[in-house]
A and B are shown apart, each in its own frame.
Chain A
Amino acid sequence: MSQLTSELVADSAEARALSRLLESPAELNAATLGSDRAAWLESIQQAARDRLHNSAFPTTRDEEWRFTPLKSLLEPTFQEADIAKVDIEAGKGAIASYMLPEAKATRLVFVNGTFSPDLSDVADAPEGLAIGSLGTLSDEQWQVARSHFTLDVMGQADTFALLNSARTRDIAIVHASKNCMAETPIHLIWLSTTADEPTASYPRCLVVADRGSSLRLVEQSIGTEDATYFANAVTEVVLAENARIEHCKLQEDAAASFSISRTTVSQARDSHYSCVAISTGAKLSRHSLSTEHRGTNATTILNGLTLLGDKQIADTHTAIDHAQPQGTSRQLHKCIVGDRARAVFNGRVIVRQDAQQIDSSQSSRNLLLSSKARVDTKPQLEIFADDVKCAHGATVSQLEEDELFYLQSRGLTRVKAEQLLTFAFAADIIDRVSIPSLATRLKQFVLEQSAIASRSE
């Protein structure tokens, strides 16, 4: 029976697509990484490949992927992106409109998963904060990176995460040392480009905040216009005792792209992790974010916004694991879905048996802008402790007639009123982005998008 199953898997489109992506990896660049580090990464790749033997991409029969069909991802043949072919000027053009004045010289740019010294600028890296790539780190930093790197991403056993480990060619590293309070945000850009054929890249990032340190990170995934690519990213975040990380994750990939990413967070005692995750791009995207409270009194704040039109599919899966007592979590996820787009939200909150005095709330709010738009939302509360305070809820709605009337009665046209209310729905999340220039740009983007959405109605 088990043999039969594995034969079936081996023969499926899901299995073939995965093995195509695992075939003939290009050699790692020992010149830029250093031979020790290249050898280490190669051993990681090999171990991950072994783990993926006889595996396949999930199907909609898999509960975790029930509403997110991957068929369109299985069709193209993706080539490994060739960093040598990247045009620096084109790269500069691609990132120009995303520059943050607040992070002018704390910018890391990776092109197709590989560090680009030409596009990066880390001149203003605050004292005590190391930012760079596998090749640029000091030996000491490399040891830190090695000790935190996990093959299957903290035990998630996720096919995509393993695929990332099997193919990643470089690592972005952000490391705040003990008690370092870095005010200047770090801007990490994942840029995908293509030449002629669809390409695949495997961005990998490791963020470590030592005891009592604090940092802000904007992680952004973009692509050159019209590029067809598959970006399969993994970010691991480790917070030591009393550390604080403010994470802003932006998925603004090109319209024809596939963007699959996983963020895995590990939180020690008294740590504070907040994330504003905004997803607007890609044809098909999935962001899985999970955090585990490994010490008492940890706090997690997750805010999410998915803004979709056309035939986009975007899936957000989150899991907050209250494994220790006295933890706090707050989550608000919003989806705005227009045209024939589909959004998926699945948010698990787990409160383990010994995790008493947990204070958790979760809310999923969704706005449908067209009759063909769809959202599948599933807040999931799993409580095994008895002394807890947990609330969760989900709403799916259209714009309220009374709200539209209020704005119309002040002289705004119905179309303008629809735009403004859609904007207001999104602004609620964007206002939680603490970097002013970024919040302004995102608001402008939402205004333009809601104008497009109302025109197409």
Chain B
Amino acid sequence: MIRSDSDVVLSVKNLTASVQGVDVLRGVNLEVKAGEIHAVMGRNGSGKSTFSKILAGHPDYEVTGGEIRYQGQDLLELEPEERSRSGVFLAFQYPIEVPGVSNSEFLRLAYNARQTHRGEPELDPFDFEDFVQEKLGVVEMNPNFLERSVNSGFSGGEKKRNEILQMAVLEPTLAILDETDSGLDIDALRIVSNGVNQLTTPDNATILITHYQRLLDYITPDFVHVMEAGQIVKTGGKELALELEERGYDWIDEPEAVATAS
């Protein structure tokens, strides 16, 4: 939902980054306002997943230039856990398994960390149980998921649904979904995207990182960005995704040539 008077949630300017001495981002610019859904598309290796990890603070990447402001503050100053508590959420492409720690226990730890950060009271296991039961409906999850160890032995689809459940519990201001649709069957895709749609409000913002247009049939973006070699090289509306689906990414490579010819 695009509204001109919305607050800017995220502002990325000339962001450059490297991993082990190799440049992976070469000047990314992006502004995301409250209520908006942005899709970042691109080929494998274009830098789109890297971008999502840098927003969440992955220690493997070194930011070499530019800035990221989140709700007016310098995001790069914050540790990953501080970003999370301030409302930044990354749904992982490959969620980690944590055997021996129950899902409900883990969700409560995460929830209470954020509550403490906001100066709000923590929930004990009983109150949290009630709270989380409501959230299960968002991703059509069976309550026995809460008793299972975090992602341990989960199928690919279950892991992705669990990510969205975490998102439902943490109610982020900025949600970044990294390839959430990859490897999902049609039922899981429907459940996951329904979940995301239920969680978007005029006050929060969403960035969908995806390789495929298919996800955008279910979650309608306000903006579509194409990333190439560590830069956003093209921005459009949702119709850009359809064009990419039809024509592939190659035509993006020589936009000047096309322009000169016409």
How far does the Cβ of B155 sit from chain A's closest Cβ, in whole Å?
18
How far does the Cβ of A257 sit from chain B's closest Cβ, in whole Å?
28
With CB as the reference atom, state the residue of chain B lying closest to A400.
B96
Q: How many A-B residue pairs have CB under 8 A?
A: 76
Q: Are A413 and B81 in contact (CB under 8 A)?
A: yes
Complex contacts, B117 vs chain A, CB 8 Å: 411
Flag A413-433 by CB within 8 Å of B: 1 or 0 each. Answer: 110100011011111101100
Bound CA span A424–B152, Å = 11
Flag whether A85 is at the interface (Cβ < 8 A): no
Flag whether B193 is at the interface (Cβ < 8 A): no
Q: Are A431 and B170 in contact (CB under 8 A)?
A: no
Q: Are B98 and A409 in contact (CB under 8 A)?
A: no
Stretch from B108-116, B199-207, B242-250 contacting the other chain: B108-116
Q: Are B110 and A412 in contact (CB under 8 A)?
A: yes
- Does more than half of chain A's interface fall in helix, strand or loop, or is it mixed? helix
Flag whether A403 is at the interface (Cβ < 8 A): yes
Q: Are B56 and A420 in contact (CB under 8 A)?
A: no
The number of chain A residues with a CB under 8 A from chain B is: 25
Complex contacts, B59 vs chain A, CB 8 Å: 401, 405
How far does the Cβ of A356 sit from chain B's closest Cβ, in whole Å?
33
Stretch from B21-29, B65-73, B84-92, B211-219 contacting the other chain: B84-92
Q: Are A424 and B100 in contact (CB under 8 A)?
A: yes
Residues in chain B within 8 A of chain A (CB atoms): 56-60, 79-81, 83-85, 89-90, 92, 95-96, 98-101, 106, 109-110, 113-114, 117, 149, 166, 170
Flag whether A40 is at the interface (Cβ < 8 A): no
Contacts A401-B60, A405-B80 known; A411 to B114 CB distance under 8 Å?
yes
How far does the Cβ of B159 sit from chain A's closest Cβ, in whole Å?
11
What are 11 A-B pairs at a CB distance below 8 A? A402-B96, A407-B98, A409-B56, A410-B81, A410-B106, A411-B109, A412-B81, A420-B109, A423-B101, A431-B99, A431-B100
How far does the Cβ of B125 sit from chain A's closest Cβ, in whole Å?
14
User: Pick the contact of B100 from A408, A412, A414, A423 — CB < 8 Å?
Assistant: A423
How far does the Cβ of A204 sit from chain B's closest Cβ, in whole Å?
35
Flag whether A98 is at the interface (Cβ < 8 A): no
How far does the Cβ of B133 sit from chain A's closest Cβ, in whole Å?
20
Complex contacts, A443 vs chain B, CB 8 Å: 100
Complex contacts, B114 vs chain A, CB 8 Å: 411
Bound CA span A425–B101, Å = 10
Contacts A405-B58, A413-B81 known; A427 to B100 CB distance under 8 Å?
yes
How far does the Cβ of A162 sit from chain B's closest Cβ, in whole Å?
40
Q: Are A412 and B113 in contact (CB under 8 A)?
A: yes
User: Pick the contact of A409 from B60, B90, B101, B149 — CB < 8 Å?
Assistant: B90
How far does the Cβ of A289 sit from chain B's closest Cβ, in whole Å?
24
Q: Are A420 and B170 in contact (CB under 8 A)?
A: no
How far does the Cβ of B146 sit from chain A's closest Cβ, in whole Å?
15
Q: Are A410 and B100 in contact (CB under 8 A)?
A: no
Contacts A413-B81, A426-B100 known; A408 to B57 CB distance under 8 Å?
yes
Complex contacts, A428 vs chain B, CB 8 Å: 99-100
A402, A425, A426 — most chain B CB neighbours (10 Å): A402
Q: Are A420 and B101 in contact (CB under 8 A)?
A: yes
With CB as the reference atom, state the residue of chain A lying closest to B106.
A410
With CB as the reference atom, state the residue of chain A lying closest to B91.
A409
Contacts A401-B60, A405-B59 known; A411 to B99 CB distance under 8 Å?
no
Complex contacts, A413 vs chain B, CB 8 Å: 81
Bound CA span A426–B95, Å = 20
Complex contacts, B170 vs chain A, CB 8 Å: 410-411
Complex contacts, A401 vs chain B, CB 8 Å: 59-60
Bound CA span A28–B127, Å = 61
With CB as the reference atom, state the residue of chain A lying closest to B56.
A409
Q: Are A409 and B80 in contact (CB under 8 A)?
A: yes
A408, A413, A421 — most chain B CB neighbours (10 Å): A408
How far does the Cβ of B168 sit from chain A's closest Cβ, in whole Å?
13
With CB as the reference atom, state the residue of chain B lying closest to A420.
B101
User: Pick the contact of A411 from B60, B96, B110 — CB < 8 Å?
Assistant: B110
Q: Are B110 and A427 in contact (CB under 8 A)?
A: no
Complex contacts, A430 vs chain B, CB 8 Å: 100
User: Pick the contact of A406 from B60, B96, B100, B109 — CB < 8 Å?
Assistant: B96
Q: Are B81 and A406 in contact (CB under 8 A)?
A: no
How far does the Cβ of A398 sit from chain B's closest Cβ, in whole Å?
14
A409, A428, A430 — most chain B CB neighbours (10 Å): A409
Bound CA span A402–B106, Å = 17
Q: Are B99 and A424 in contact (CB under 8 A)?
A: yes
Contacts A420-B98, A420-B101, A424-B101 known; A412 to B58 CB distance under 8 Å?
no
With CB as the reference atom, state the residue of chain A lying closest to B151.
A406
Complex contacts, B106 vs chain A, CB 8 Å: 410
17 new A-B pairs (CB below 8 Å) besides A405-B56, A411-B85?
Answer: A405-B59, A406-B95, A409-B57, A410-B113, A411-B84, A411-B109, A411-B110, A411-B117, A411-B170, A414-B81, A416-B109, A420-B109, A424-B98, A424-B99, A424-B149, A427-B100, A428-B100
Bound CA span A410–B87, Å = 10
Bound CA span A431–B99, Å = 10
With CB as the reference atom, state the residue of chain A lying closest to B81.
A408
A401, A407, A425, A443 — most chain B CB neighbours (10 Å): A407
Complex contacts, A405 vs chain B, CB 8 Å: 56-59, 80
With CB as the reference atom, state the residue of chain A lying closest to B112.
A411
How far does the Cβ of B128 sit from chain A's closest Cβ, in whole Å?
14
Bound CA span A408–B117, Å = 14
Q: Are B109 and A412 in contact (CB under 8 A)?
A: yes
With CB as the reference atom, state the residue of chain A lying closest to B117.
A411
Complex contacts, B83 vs chain A, CB 8 Å: 409
Q: Are A427 and B80 in contact (CB under 8 A)?
A: no
- A residues 429-457 near B (Cβ < 8 Å) are 430-431, 443
With CB as the reference atom, state the residue of chain A lying closest to B100.
A427
Complex contacts, A421 vs chain B, CB 8 Å: 98
A401, A406, A411 — most chain B CB neighbours (10 Å): A411
With CB as the reference atom, state the residue of chain B lying closest to A408.
B80
How far does the Cβ of B192 sit from chain A's closest Cβ, in whole Å?
18
Q: Are B166 and A410 in contact (CB under 8 A)?
A: yes
A402, A406, A414, A427 — most chain B CB neighbours (10 Å): A406
User: Pick the contact of A427 from B81, B101, B109 — CB < 8 Å?
Assistant: B101
With CB as the reference atom, state the residue of chain A lying closest to B150.
A424
Complex contacts, B100 vs chain A, CB 8 Å: 423-428, 430-431, 443
Complex contacts, A431 vs chain B, CB 8 Å: 99-100
Bound CA span A420–B81, Å = 15
